[in-house]
Amino acid sequence: MKKAKKELPAIVTKIVKPPAPTEPEKAEIAIKGGEELYREIRVENKLTTDGGTEVRLKPGAEVEVQIQADEKSVEKK
């Protein structure tokens, strides 16, 4: 086992405009099945395609959030 991972379905709930033009735009993402007070995360709204093109998420987009950990960071159940 090199890495343990889990993928969680999520949806982009809104795009947050930066307070200053020098700061990045954020995408607010709600993880489906997450606890009510902790399901939203905000990340910079900047992705790169396999071809190297920069793109951004749109509100309502269905996405996956992936969690990965090295084998040193996990223990067997």
Each residue of 8-36: pLDDT tens digit? 999 999 999 999 999 999 999 999 988 99
pTM summary value = 0.85
d(CA 67, CA 33): 15
Long-range CB pairs of 45-53, under 8 A, 24+ apart, other chains included: 45/15
Q: Where are the domains of the chain?
A: 3-71
d(CA 29, CA 73): 25
d(CA 42, CA 15): 9
pLDDT band at 1 (very low <50, low <70, confident <90, very high): low
